[in-house]
Chain A
Amino acid sequence: MQFTPRNAPFLVGPNTVSALMRRVSLALVPGILAMFWYFGIGVLINLILAACAAMAFEALMLRLRGRPIAPAQGSGLNDGSALLTGLLLGLCLPPLAPWWIPVLGAFTALVLAKHLYGGLGFNPFNPAMIGYVVLLVSFPREMTQWLPVNDLLGQAPSLGDSLSWVFTGAQGLDAYTQATPLDHLKTELGLSRTVEEIISDPKFGGIGGTGWEWINLAYLLGGAYLIKSGDIDWRIPGGMLSGIAIMATLFVALDGDAYRGPAFHLFSGAAMLGAFFIATDPVSASTTPKGRIYYGLGIGVLVYLIRTWGGYPDGVAFAVLLMNIAAPTIDYYTQPRTFGEGDDLKGPGHD
Protein backbone atom coordinates (compact mmCIF):
# COMPACT_ATOMS: atom_id res chain seq x y z
CA MET A 1 0.00 0.00 0.00
CA GLN A 2 1.36 3.33 -0.98
CA PHE A 3 1.51 6.07 1.61
CA THR A 4 1.39 9.59 0.23
CA PRO A 5 2.59 12.26 2.66
CA ARG A 6 0.38 15.29 2.84
CA ASN A 7 1.18 18.75 4.01
CA ALA A 8 -0.72 20.78 6.56
CA PRO A 9 -3.38 22.12 6.79
CA PHE A 10 -5.27 18.84 7.12
CA LEU A 11 -8.60 20.38 8.04
CA VAL A 12 -9.66 22.75 5.30
CA GLY A 13 -12.63 25.01 5.88
CA PRO A 14 -15.05 25.72 3.07
CA ASN A 15 -14.05 29.40 2.99
CA THR A 16 -11.81 30.09 0.02
CA VAL A 17 -11.08 33.21 -1.96
CA SER A 18 -13.19 32.02 -4.85
CA ALA A 19 -16.15 31.16 -2.58
CA LEU A 20 -15.94 34.64 -1.03
CA MET A 21 -15.77 36.32 -4.42
CA ARG A 22 -18.71 34.21 -5.59
CA ARG A 23 -20.83 35.25 -2.60
CA VAL A 24 -19.97 38.93 -3.06
CA SER A 25 -20.81 38.73 -6.78
CA LEU A 26 -24.07 36.99 -5.87
CA ALA A 27 -24.91 39.74 -3.38
CA LEU A 28 -24.54 42.27 -6.19
CA VAL A 29 -27.41 40.66 -8.13
CA PRO A 30 -30.30 42.64 -6.55
CA GLY A 31 -28.43 45.87 -7.24
CA ILE A 32 -27.65 44.84 -10.81
CA LEU A 33 -31.31 43.95 -11.40
CA ALA A 34 -32.47 47.29 -10.01
CA MET A 35 -29.96 49.17 -12.18
CA PHE A 36 -31.11 47.15 -15.21
CA TRP A 37 -34.75 47.95 -14.40
CA TYR A 38 -34.11 51.69 -14.26
CA PHE A 39 -31.38 52.21 -16.86
CA GLY A 40 -32.03 49.45 -19.35
CA ILE A 41 -29.72 47.33 -21.42
CA GLY A 42 -26.77 49.76 -21.19
CA VAL A 43 -26.03 48.53 -17.66
CA LEU A 44 -25.64 44.94 -18.86
CA ILE A 45 -23.45 46.00 -21.81
CA ASN A 46 -21.17 47.85 -19.36
CA LEU A 47 -21.01 44.88 -17.01
CA ILE A 48 -20.21 42.39 -19.77
CA LEU A 49 -17.56 44.62 -21.35
CA ALA A 50 -15.91 45.49 -18.03
CA ALA A 51 -15.97 41.92 -16.73
CA CYS A 52 -14.58 40.42 -19.96
CA ALA A 53 -11.88 43.10 -20.21
CA ALA A 54 -10.96 42.61 -16.56
CA MET A 55 -10.59 38.84 -17.02
CA ALA A 56 -8.55 39.35 -20.19
CA PHE A 57 -6.15 41.80 -18.51
CA GLU A 58 -5.87 39.53 -15.47
CA ALA A 59 -4.90 36.61 -17.73
CA LEU A 60 -2.46 38.80 -19.66
CA MET A 61 -0.75 40.07 -16.50
CA LEU A 62 -0.55 36.59 -14.94
CA ARG A 63 1.12 35.43 -18.13
CA LEU A 64 3.54 38.36 -18.24
CA ARG A 65 4.47 37.76 -14.61
CA GLY A 66 5.01 34.06 -15.32
CA ARG A 67 2.25 32.87 -12.99
CA PRO A 68 -0.14 29.99 -13.74
CA ILE A 69 -3.30 31.46 -15.24
CA ALA A 70 -5.77 29.06 -13.65
CA PRO A 71 -4.06 27.11 -10.86
CA ALA A 72 -5.98 24.53 -8.84
CA GLN A 73 -4.96 26.38 -5.68
CA GLY A 74 -3.95 29.93 -4.97
CA SER A 75 -4.87 33.02 -6.88
CA GLY A 76 -5.41 33.10 -10.58
CA LEU A 77 -8.08 33.84 -13.10
CA ASN A 78 -10.46 31.29 -11.60
CA ASP A 79 -10.62 32.86 -8.14
CA GLY A 80 -13.21 35.34 -9.39
CA SER A 81 -11.49 38.44 -8.04
CA ALA A 82 -10.90 39.91 -11.50
CA LEU A 83 -14.53 39.22 -12.37
CA LEU A 84 -15.68 41.04 -9.23
CA THR A 85 -13.43 44.02 -9.96
CA GLY A 86 -14.87 44.16 -13.47
CA LEU A 87 -18.45 43.99 -12.15
CA LEU A 88 -17.87 46.76 -9.59
CA LEU A 89 -16.27 48.96 -12.23
CA GLY A 90 -19.07 48.26 -14.69
CA LEU A 91 -21.71 49.26 -12.13
CA CYS A 92 -20.07 52.66 -11.61
CA LEU A 93 -20.02 53.61 -15.28
CA PRO A 94 -22.78 55.57 -16.98
CA PRO A 95 -25.01 53.31 -19.09
CA LEU A 96 -24.33 53.57 -22.84
CA ALA A 97 -20.79 54.83 -22.35
CA PRO A 98 -18.56 54.17 -25.40
CA TRP A 99 -17.10 50.66 -25.39
CA TRP A 100 -13.53 51.80 -24.73
CA ILE A 101 -14.53 53.37 -21.39
CA PRO A 102 -15.05 50.04 -19.54
CA VAL A 103 -12.06 48.49 -21.35
CA LEU A 104 -9.71 51.33 -20.41
CA GLY A 105 -11.07 51.33 -16.86
CA ALA A 106 -10.44 47.59 -16.55
CA PHE A 107 -6.90 48.13 -17.86
CA THR A 108 -5.99 50.71 -15.20
CA ALA A 109 -7.75 48.71 -12.50
CA LEU A 110 -6.15 45.35 -13.20
CA VAL A 111 -2.73 46.31 -14.56
CA LEU A 112 -1.88 49.52 -12.72
CA ALA A 113 -3.69 49.13 -9.42
CA LYS A 114 -3.52 45.36 -8.96
CA HIS A 115 -0.75 43.52 -10.76
CA LEU A 116 2.03 46.10 -10.51
CA TYR A 117 1.63 45.73 -6.75
CA GLY A 118 1.82 41.95 -6.90
CA GLY A 119 -1.74 40.90 -7.64
CA LEU A 120 -4.46 39.65 -5.32
CA GLY A 121 -3.88 40.53 -1.69
CA PHE A 122 -1.30 43.25 -2.20
CA ASN A 123 -3.12 46.16 -3.84
CA PRO A 124 -3.03 49.22 -1.53
CA PHE A 125 -5.80 50.95 -3.52
CA ASN A 126 -9.19 49.59 -4.49
CA PRO A 127 -8.58 48.55 -8.14
CA ALA A 128 -12.12 49.23 -9.39
CA MET A 129 -12.06 52.73 -7.91
CA ILE A 130 -8.66 53.52 -9.44
CA GLY A 131 -10.15 52.47 -12.78
CA TYR A 132 -13.20 54.68 -12.21
CA VAL A 133 -11.28 57.74 -11.02
CA VAL A 134 -8.77 57.59 -13.88
CA LEU A 135 -11.73 57.56 -16.28
CA LEU A 136 -13.57 60.34 -14.45
CA VAL A 137 -10.52 62.61 -14.42
CA SER A 138 -9.50 61.85 -18.02
CA PHE A 139 -12.90 61.73 -19.75
CA PRO A 140 -15.27 63.92 -17.73
CA ARG A 141 -17.67 64.35 -20.65
CA GLU A 142 -18.21 60.65 -21.32
CA MET A 143 -18.29 59.86 -17.61
CA THR A 144 -21.03 62.31 -16.64
CA GLN A 145 -23.54 61.50 -19.39
CA TRP A 146 -26.01 59.54 -17.31
CA LEU A 147 -29.28 58.41 -18.73
CA PRO A 148 -32.29 59.49 -16.70
CA VAL A 149 -34.22 56.63 -15.15
CA ASN A 150 -36.79 54.93 -17.37
CA ASP A 151 -39.80 56.55 -15.66
CA LEU A 152 -38.57 59.97 -16.77
CA LEU A 153 -37.41 58.95 -20.20
CA GLY A 154 -40.74 58.02 -21.73
CA GLN A 155 -39.33 55.65 -24.30
CA ALA A 156 -36.27 53.58 -23.47
CA PRO A 157 -33.62 53.26 -26.19
CA SER A 158 -33.89 49.94 -28.03
CA LEU A 159 -31.24 47.21 -27.97
CA GLY A 160 -30.06 48.08 -31.47
CA ASP A 161 -29.78 51.80 -30.67
CA SER A 162 -27.93 51.01 -27.45
CA LEU A 163 -25.43 48.77 -29.18
CA SER A 164 -24.78 51.26 -31.97
CA TRP A 165 -24.25 54.04 -29.41
CA VAL A 166 -21.79 51.97 -27.43
CA PHE A 167 -19.78 50.69 -30.37
CA THR A 168 -19.97 53.34 -33.05
CA GLY A 169 -20.21 56.61 -31.17
CA ALA A 170 -22.79 58.54 -29.24
CA GLN A 171 -24.52 60.63 -31.88
CA GLY A 172 -27.94 61.61 -30.62
CA LEU A 173 -27.28 60.28 -27.14
CA ASP A 174 -27.08 63.87 -25.86
CA ALA A 175 -30.82 64.15 -26.38
CA TYR A 176 -31.35 61.47 -23.73
CA THR A 177 -28.75 62.17 -21.07
CA GLN A 178 -29.39 64.37 -18.08
CA ALA A 179 -27.69 65.43 -14.88
CA THR A 180 -28.02 62.91 -12.05
CA PRO A 181 -30.07 64.02 -9.03
CA LEU A 182 -26.91 64.69 -6.98
CA ASP A 183 -25.42 66.75 -9.79
CA HIS A 184 -28.67 68.63 -10.33
CA LEU A 185 -28.98 69.44 -6.62
CA LYS A 186 -25.46 70.88 -6.53
CA THR A 187 -25.90 73.01 -9.65
CA GLU A 188 -29.24 74.41 -8.54
CA LEU A 189 -28.01 75.12 -5.00
CA GLY A 190 -25.18 77.05 -6.66
CA LEU A 191 -27.86 79.22 -8.28
CA SER A 192 -29.09 79.90 -4.73
CA ARG A 193 -32.43 78.17 -5.02
CA THR A 194 -33.72 76.48 -1.90
CA VAL A 195 -33.89 72.73 -1.46
CA GLU A 196 -37.68 72.77 -1.47
CA GLU A 197 -37.85 74.42 -4.88
CA ILE A 198 -35.31 72.01 -6.31
CA ILE A 199 -36.85 68.77 -5.12
CA SER A 200 -40.16 69.53 -6.80
CA ASP A 201 -38.33 68.40 -9.96
CA PRO A 202 -39.47 64.89 -11.02
CA LYS A 203 -35.82 63.79 -10.75
CA PHE A 204 -36.30 63.55 -7.02
CA GLY A 205 -38.32 60.71 -5.52
CA GLY A 206 -39.63 60.14 -2.02
CA ILE A 207 -36.21 59.83 -0.38
CA GLY A 208 -33.37 60.07 -2.87
CA GLY A 209 -33.46 60.53 -6.61
CA THR A 210 -36.27 58.79 -8.51
CA GLY A 211 -35.10 55.22 -9.12
CA TRP A 212 -31.81 55.77 -7.28
CA GLU A 213 -33.49 55.14 -3.93
CA TRP A 214 -34.60 51.66 -5.08
CA ILE A 215 -31.17 50.91 -6.50
CA ASN A 216 -29.59 51.86 -3.19
CA LEU A 217 -32.14 49.77 -1.34
CA ALA A 218 -31.24 46.77 -3.51
CA TYR A 219 -27.55 47.19 -2.67
CA LEU A 220 -28.48 47.48 0.99
CA LEU A 221 -30.24 44.12 0.67
CA GLY A 222 -27.16 42.51 -0.86
CA GLY A 223 -24.99 44.12 1.80
CA ALA A 224 -27.19 42.77 4.58
CA TYR A 225 -26.68 39.26 3.18
CA LEU A 226 -22.90 39.75 3.20
CA ILE A 227 -22.91 40.94 6.79
CA LYS A 228 -25.08 38.00 7.82
CA SER A 229 -22.82 35.50 6.04
CA GLY A 230 -19.85 37.10 7.83
CA ASP A 231 -18.06 38.05 4.61
CA ILE A 232 -17.80 41.72 5.46
CA ASP A 233 -17.37 43.43 8.81
CA TRP A 234 -20.34 45.61 9.81
CA ARG A 235 -17.93 48.21 11.14
CA ILE A 236 -16.92 49.54 7.73
CA PRO A 237 -20.39 50.09 6.18
CA GLY A 238 -21.72 51.08 9.60
CA GLY A 239 -18.98 53.66 10.02
CA MET A 240 -19.36 55.00 6.51
CA LEU A 241 -23.15 55.34 6.61
CA SER A 242 -23.05 56.96 10.05
CA GLY A 243 -20.33 59.34 8.79
CA ILE A 244 -22.63 60.49 5.99
CA ALA A 245 -25.66 60.62 8.30
CA ILE A 246 -23.88 62.61 11.01
CA MET A 247 -22.57 65.22 8.58
CA ALA A 248 -25.91 65.53 6.78
CA THR A 249 -27.86 65.88 10.04
CA LEU A 250 -25.42 68.49 11.29
CA PHE A 251 -25.66 70.69 8.21
CA VAL A 252 -29.40 70.32 7.69
CA ALA A 253 -29.82 71.46 11.30
CA LEU A 254 -27.66 74.52 10.53
CA ASP A 255 -29.51 75.53 7.36
CA GLY A 256 -32.39 73.42 6.04
CA ASP A 257 -32.69 75.49 2.87
CA ALA A 258 -29.16 74.90 1.63
CA TYR A 259 -28.55 71.26 2.57
CA ARG A 260 -30.47 68.02 2.23
CA GLY A 261 -31.06 65.61 5.05
CA PRO A 262 -29.37 62.31 5.87
CA ALA A 263 -32.02 60.13 4.17
CA PHE A 264 -31.38 61.77 0.80
CA HIS A 265 -27.61 61.37 1.07
CA LEU A 266 -27.82 57.75 2.23
CA PHE A 267 -30.08 56.76 -0.66
CA SER A 268 -28.42 58.74 -3.44
CA GLY A 269 -25.59 58.06 -5.82
CA ALA A 270 -23.23 55.28 -4.88
CA ALA A 271 -23.67 55.48 -1.11
CA MET A 272 -24.88 51.90 -0.51
CA LEU A 273 -22.79 50.33 -3.28
CA GLY A 274 -19.77 52.09 -1.79
CA ALA A 275 -20.54 51.21 1.80
CA PHE A 276 -21.14 47.49 1.35
CA PHE A 277 -19.17 46.50 -1.74
CA ILE A 278 -16.38 49.00 -2.36
CA ALA A 279 -15.19 50.27 1.01
CA THR A 280 -15.17 46.69 2.34
CA ASP A 281 -12.45 45.41 -0.01
CA PRO A 282 -10.49 43.32 2.53
CA VAL A 283 -7.08 44.20 1.08
CA SER A 284 -7.19 47.97 0.81
CA ALA A 285 -9.37 48.61 3.88
CA SER A 286 -8.17 48.94 7.44
CA THR A 287 -7.82 45.60 9.22
CA THR A 288 -8.08 46.33 12.96
CA PRO A 289 -11.57 46.43 14.55
CA LYS A 290 -11.22 49.99 15.84
CA GLY A 291 -9.41 51.05 12.69
CA ARG A 292 -12.30 49.86 10.56
CA ILE A 293 -14.69 52.19 12.35
CA TYR A 294 -12.37 55.17 11.81
CA TYR A 295 -11.84 54.10 8.20
CA GLY A 296 -15.59 53.90 7.56
CA LEU A 297 -16.32 57.18 9.33
CA GLY A 298 -13.57 58.89 7.33
CA ILE A 299 -15.06 57.72 4.06
CA GLY A 300 -18.54 58.88 5.09
CA VAL A 301 -17.34 62.35 6.09
CA LEU A 302 -15.27 62.72 2.92
CA VAL A 303 -18.19 61.57 0.72
CA TYR A 304 -20.35 64.29 2.23
CA LEU A 305 -17.62 66.95 1.89
CA ILE A 306 -16.94 66.16 -1.76
CA ARG A 307 -20.64 65.83 -2.63
CA THR A 308 -21.55 69.10 -0.99
CA TRP A 309 -18.59 71.39 -1.68
CA GLY A 310 -16.29 69.52 -4.05
CA GLY A 311 -15.99 69.76 -7.81
CA TYR A 312 -17.35 66.26 -8.50
CA PRO A 313 -21.00 65.20 -8.21
CA ASP A 314 -20.40 62.08 -6.11
CA GLY A 315 -17.47 61.50 -3.83
CA VAL A 316 -17.54 57.79 -3.02
CA ALA A 317 -14.65 56.80 -5.30
CA PHE A 318 -12.38 59.63 -4.14
CA ALA A 319 -13.31 59.12 -0.50
CA VAL A 320 -12.51 55.40 -0.67
CA LEU A 321 -9.14 56.06 -2.33
CA LEU A 322 -8.27 58.78 0.18
CA MET A 323 -9.01 56.48 3.09
CA ASN A 324 -7.08 53.68 1.34
CA ILE A 325 -4.10 56.01 1.59
CA ALA A 326 -4.76 56.45 5.29
CA ALA A 327 -5.49 52.76 6.04
CA PRO A 328 -1.88 51.63 6.76
CA THR A 329 -1.41 54.58 9.13
CA ILE A 330 -4.75 53.86 10.84
CA ASP A 331 -3.73 50.22 11.27
CA TYR A 332 -0.39 51.29 12.72
CA TYR A 333 -2.03 53.41 15.41
CA THR A 334 -4.98 51.12 16.25
CA GLN A 335 -3.27 47.80 16.77
CA PRO A 336 -5.28 45.85 19.36
CA ARG A 337 -3.61 45.52 22.74
CA THR A 338 -2.02 42.13 23.25
CA PHE A 339 -3.97 40.19 25.87
CA GLY A 340 -2.27 40.42 29.24
CA GLU A 341 -0.45 43.65 28.50
CA GLY A 342 -1.10 47.22 29.49
CA ASP A 343 -4.10 48.17 31.59
CA ASP A 344 -5.41 44.61 31.65
CA LEU A 345 -3.13 43.82 34.61
CA LYS A 346 -5.35 45.96 36.80
CA GLY A 347 -8.07 43.32 36.60
CA PRO A 348 -9.96 41.96 39.62
CA GLY A 349 -7.21 39.46 40.49
CA HIS A 350 -4.61 42.15 40.97
CA ASP A 351 -6.00 44.70 43.39
Chain B
Amino acid sequence: MTEFALILISTVLVNNFVLVKFLGLCPFMGVSRKLETATGMGLATTFVLTLSSICSYLVNEYILLPLGLEYLRTIAFILVIAGVVQFTEMVVHKTSPILYQVLGIFLPLITTNCAVLGVALLNVQEQHGLLHSAVYGFGAAVGFSLVLTLFAAMRERITAADVPTAFQGAPIALITAGLMSLAFMGFSGLVRG
Protein backbone atom coordinates (compact mmCIF):
# COMPACT_ATOMS: atom_id res chain seq x y z
CA MET B 1 0.00 0.00 0.00
CA THR B 2 2.79 2.41 0.98
CA GLU B 3 4.54 1.50 -2.25
CA PHE B 4 1.59 2.58 -4.35
CA ALA B 5 1.18 5.79 -2.37
CA LEU B 6 4.83 6.58 -3.06
CA ILE B 7 4.39 5.87 -6.78
CA LEU B 8 1.46 8.27 -6.82
CA ILE B 9 3.38 11.05 -5.01
CA SER B 10 6.36 10.45 -7.25
CA THR B 11 4.46 10.58 -10.54
CA VAL B 12 2.10 13.40 -9.57
CA LEU B 13 4.55 15.77 -7.88
CA VAL B 14 8.21 14.78 -7.86
CA ASN B 15 8.56 13.40 -11.39
CA ASN B 16 5.62 15.22 -12.90
CA PHE B 17 5.41 14.20 -16.55
CA VAL B 18 4.83 17.70 -17.87
CA LEU B 19 6.95 19.90 -15.63
CA VAL B 20 9.83 17.57 -14.81
CA LYS B 21 10.00 15.04 -17.67
CA PHE B 22 8.69 17.52 -20.29
CA LEU B 23 6.34 14.99 -21.91
CA GLY B 24 2.88 15.89 -23.20
CA LEU B 25 3.69 19.52 -23.83
CA CYS B 26 1.46 19.86 -26.92
CA PRO B 27 -1.87 19.48 -25.11
CA PHE B 28 -0.37 21.37 -22.15
CA MET B 29 0.08 24.42 -24.36
CA GLY B 30 -2.82 23.74 -26.71
CA VAL B 31 -5.77 23.08 -24.39
CA SER B 32 -4.90 25.37 -21.49
CA ARG B 33 -6.64 28.52 -22.64
CA LYS B 34 -9.83 27.85 -20.70
CA LEU B 35 -10.28 26.15 -17.37
CA GLU B 36 -13.31 24.05 -18.41
CA THR B 37 -11.63 22.55 -21.48
CA ALA B 38 -8.50 21.88 -19.46
CA THR B 39 -10.47 19.95 -16.84
CA GLY B 40 -12.25 17.97 -19.57
CA MET B 41 -8.99 17.20 -21.32
CA GLY B 42 -7.48 16.15 -18.01
CA LEU B 43 -10.32 13.72 -17.36
CA ALA B 44 -10.16 12.25 -20.87
CA THR B 45 -6.38 11.87 -20.66
CA THR B 46 -6.62 10.24 -17.23
CA PHE B 47 -9.06 7.70 -18.59
CA VAL B 48 -6.96 6.98 -21.69
CA LEU B 49 -3.63 6.84 -19.86
CA THR B 50 -4.78 4.42 -17.18
CA LEU B 51 -6.50 2.15 -19.69
CA SER B 52 -3.68 2.28 -22.21
CA SER B 53 -1.00 1.46 -19.65
CA ILE B 54 -2.99 -1.63 -18.63
CA CYS B 55 -3.61 -2.65 -22.27
CA SER B 56 -0.02 -2.06 -23.34
CA TYR B 57 1.21 -4.12 -20.39
CA LEU B 58 -1.06 -6.99 -21.41
CA VAL B 59 -0.03 -6.73 -25.05
CA ASN B 60 3.63 -6.66 -24.14
CA GLU B 61 3.42 -9.50 -21.62
CA TYR B 62 1.11 -11.90 -23.47
CA ILE B 63 1.69 -11.17 -27.16
CA LEU B 64 5.00 -9.49 -27.81
CA LEU B 65 7.20 -11.32 -25.31
CA PRO B 66 5.99 -14.92 -25.98
CA LEU B 67 6.29 -14.39 -29.75
CA GLY B 68 9.66 -12.66 -29.49
CA LEU B 69 8.36 -9.52 -31.15
CA GLU B 70 9.93 -6.95 -28.80
CA TYR B 71 11.18 -4.95 -31.79
CA LEU B 72 7.56 -4.18 -32.69
CA ARG B 73 6.90 -2.70 -29.26
CA THR B 74 6.68 0.99 -30.21
CA ILE B 75 4.39 0.44 -33.15
CA ALA B 76 2.22 -2.03 -31.24
CA PHE B 77 1.81 0.45 -28.38
CA ILE B 78 0.86 3.21 -30.79
CA LEU B 79 -1.83 0.92 -32.19
CA VAL B 80 -3.11 0.06 -28.71
CA ILE B 81 -3.21 3.73 -27.72
CA ALA B 82 -5.03 4.70 -30.91
CA GLY B 83 -7.61 2.02 -30.17
CA VAL B 84 -8.12 3.21 -26.59
CA VAL B 85 -8.44 6.83 -27.75
CA GLN B 86 -11.03 5.85 -30.35
CA PHE B 87 -12.94 4.04 -27.63
CA THR B 88 -12.78 7.09 -25.33
CA GLU B 89 -13.93 9.31 -28.14
CA MET B 90 -17.00 7.15 -28.68
CA VAL B 91 -17.77 7.14 -24.95
CA VAL B 92 -17.42 10.93 -24.63
CA HIS B 93 -19.46 11.48 -27.80
CA LYS B 94 -22.27 9.38 -26.38
CA THR B 95 -22.22 10.57 -22.75
CA SER B 96 -21.31 14.26 -23.07
CA PRO B 97 -21.83 15.83 -26.49
CA ILE B 98 -20.90 19.25 -25.09
CA LEU B 99 -17.54 18.05 -23.83
CA TYR B 100 -17.09 16.30 -27.18
CA GLN B 101 -17.63 19.59 -28.98
CA VAL B 102 -15.43 21.54 -26.61
CA LEU B 103 -12.53 19.11 -26.85
CA GLY B 104 -12.92 18.90 -30.63
CA ILE B 105 -9.65 18.15 -32.33
CA PHE B 106 -7.81 17.59 -29.07
CA LEU B 107 -9.51 14.31 -28.27
CA PRO B 108 -7.99 12.39 -31.20
CA LEU B 109 -4.79 14.28 -30.44
CA ILE B 110 -4.41 12.28 -27.20
CA THR B 111 -3.10 9.60 -29.58
CA THR B 112 -0.08 11.75 -30.26
CA ASN B 113 0.30 12.90 -26.64
CA CYS B 114 3.85 11.77 -26.02
CA ALA B 115 3.11 11.27 -22.32
CA VAL B 116 0.78 8.37 -23.17
CA LEU B 117 3.35 6.48 -25.23
CA GLY B 118 6.05 7.58 -22.79
CA VAL B 119 4.25 5.99 -19.84
CA ALA B 120 3.69 2.74 -21.76
CA LEU B 121 7.37 2.52 -22.74
CA LEU B 122 8.61 3.53 -19.28
CA ASN B 123 6.44 0.80 -17.74
CA VAL B 124 8.25 -1.78 -19.86
CA GLN B 125 11.66 -0.25 -19.28
CA GLU B 126 11.24 -0.17 -15.50
CA GLN B 127 9.67 -3.67 -15.53
CA HIS B 128 6.51 -2.71 -13.70
CA GLY B 129 3.89 -5.39 -13.01
CA LEU B 130 0.25 -5.07 -14.03
CA LEU B 131 -1.00 -3.21 -10.95
CA HIS B 132 2.18 -1.16 -10.78
CA SER B 133 1.77 -0.14 -14.44
CA ALA B 134 -1.84 0.88 -13.87
CA VAL B 135 -0.96 3.01 -10.81
CA TYR B 136 1.99 4.54 -12.65
CA GLY B 137 -0.21 5.46 -15.61
CA PHE B 138 -2.94 6.80 -13.34
CA GLY B 139 -0.44 8.88 -11.35
CA ALA B 140 1.12 10.29 -14.50
CA ALA B 141 -2.34 11.26 -15.74
CA VAL B 142 -3.36 12.85 -12.44
CA GLY B 143 -0.14 14.86 -12.45
CA PHE B 144 -0.82 15.91 -16.04
CA SER B 145 -4.41 16.93 -15.25
CA LEU B 146 -3.35 18.79 -12.10
CA VAL B 147 -0.78 21.01 -13.78
CA LEU B 148 -2.99 21.44 -16.86
CA THR B 149 -5.85 22.73 -14.67
CA LEU B 150 -3.62 25.02 -12.61
CA PHE B 151 -1.91 26.29 -15.76
CA ALA B 152 -5.24 27.02 -17.44
CA ALA B 153 -6.43 29.09 -14.47
CA MET B 154 -3.14 31.01 -14.52
CA ARG B 155 -3.41 31.64 -18.26
CA GLU B 156 -6.96 32.97 -17.87
CA ARG B 157 -5.56 35.48 -15.41
CA ILE B 158 -2.58 36.36 -17.61
CA THR B 159 -4.84 37.19 -20.57
CA ALA B 160 -6.06 40.15 -18.51
CA ALA B 161 -2.50 41.30 -17.76
CA ASP B 162 -0.71 44.13 -19.48
CA VAL B 163 1.89 41.86 -21.12
CA PRO B 164 4.35 43.57 -23.53
CA THR B 165 3.22 42.98 -27.12
CA ALA B 166 6.16 40.80 -28.07
CA PHE B 167 5.38 38.39 -25.23
CA GLN B 168 1.60 38.07 -25.61
CA GLY B 169 0.10 34.63 -26.14
CA ALA B 170 2.42 31.65 -26.46
CA PRO B 171 5.68 33.32 -25.30
CA ILE B 172 4.36 34.36 -21.90
CA ALA B 173 2.65 30.98 -21.57
CA LEU B 174 5.96 29.23 -22.18
CA ILE B 175 7.67 31.50 -19.64
CA THR B 176 4.93 30.69 -17.14
CA ALA B 177 5.35 26.96 -17.81
CA GLY B 178 9.09 27.36 -17.24
CA LEU B 179 8.56 29.16 -13.93
CA MET B 180 6.05 26.45 -12.87
CA SER B 181 8.69 23.86 -13.65
CA LEU B 182 11.12 25.84 -11.49
CA ALA B 183 8.66 25.77 -8.60
CA PHE B 184 8.19 22.01 -9.01
CA MET B 185 11.93 21.56 -8.50
CA GLY B 186 11.12 22.16 -4.84
CA PHE B 187 9.70 18.63 -4.73
CA SER B 188 12.98 17.08 -5.86
CA GLY B 189 14.38 14.60 -3.41
CA LEU B 190 10.98 14.12 -1.74
CA VAL B 191 10.70 10.48 -2.86
CA ARG B 192 13.86 8.56 -3.59
CA GLY B 193 13.96 6.56 -6.81
A residues whose Cβ falls under 8 Å from a Cβ of B: 65, 112-113, 115-119, 122, 124-125, 130, 133-134, 137, 302, 305-306, 309-312, 315, 317-319, 321-322, 324-326, 328-329, 331-332
Determine whether the beta carbon of B189 is less than 8 Å from that of A329: no
Q: Is the interface of A mostly helix, strand, loop or mixed?
A: helix
How many residues belonging to B are interface residues under a CB distance threshold of 8 Å?
29
Contact B154 A118 (CB under 8 A): no
- With A124-B157, A310-B189 known to touch, is A321 a contact of B164 (CB < 8 Å)? no
The answer to whether B163 touches A116 (Cβ under 8 A) is yes
Complex Cα–Cα for A130 and B186 (A)? 12
Residue B99 interfacial (CB < 8 Å)? no
B162 CB within 8 Å of chain A: yes
Nearest 8 interchain pairs by C-beta: A318-B186, A311-B189, A118-B162, A321-B183, A328-B153, A122-B161, A329-B153, A118-B161
Q: Taking the complex as formed, is B180 at the interface, i.e. its CB lies under 8 A from any CB of chain A? A: yes
Q: Tell me the bound Cα distance from A306 to B158 in angstroms.
A: 28
Taking CB atoms, residues of chain B closer than 8 Å to A306 are 186-187, 190
| B176 lies within 8 A of chain A by Cβ | yes
Instruction: Report B191 CB to chain A, min CB distance, Å.
Output: 8
Q: Is the CB of A324 within 8 A of B183?
A: yes
Whether B164 pairs with A311 at a CB distance below 8 angstroms is: no
A322–B156 touching, CB < 8 Å: no
Contact B180 A325 (CB under 8 A): yes
Q: Across the interface, do A332 and B179 meet the contact criterion of CB distance under 8 Å?
A: no
Q: A117-B161, A124-B158, A310-B190 are in contact. List 19 more A-B contacts (CB 8 A).
A: A118-B162, A122-B162, A125-B183, A133-B182, A305-B190, A309-B191, A312-B186, A312-B188, A312-B189, A315-B186, A318-B187, A321-B182, A321-B186, A326-B150, A328-B154, A328-B156, A329-B153, A331-B153, A332-B35
| B185–A137 CB distance below 8 A | yes
Q: Which residues of A have CB within 8 Å of B185?
A: 133, 137, 318
| B50: min CB distance to chain A, Å | 23
Complex: A39 Cα to B111 Cα, angstroms = 57
Q: Which residues in B have their C-beta under 8 angstroms from that of A116?
A: 163-164, 167, 172, 175
Can you name the residue of chain B whose Cβ is closest to the Cβ of A136? Answer: B185
What would 24 A/B residue contacts be, using CB atoms closer than 8 Å? A113-B179, A116-B175, A117-B163, A118-B161, A118-B162, A122-B161, A124-B154, A125-B179, A125-B183, A134-B182, A302-B186, A305-B190, A306-B190, A310-B187, A310-B189, A311-B189, A317-B186, A318-B183, A318-B186, A319-B186, A321-B182, A324-B183, A325-B180, A328-B153
Verify A119–B184 contact, CB threshold 8 A: no
Question: Within 8 Å CB of A119, what residues of B?
Answer: 162
Chain A residues with Cβ below 8 Å from B164 are 65, 115-116, 118
Q: A299 to B156: give the CA distance in the assembly, Å.
A: 23
Do the beta carbons of B153 and A332 come within 8 Å of each other? yes
Cβ of B149 < 8 Å from any Cβ of A? Answer: yes
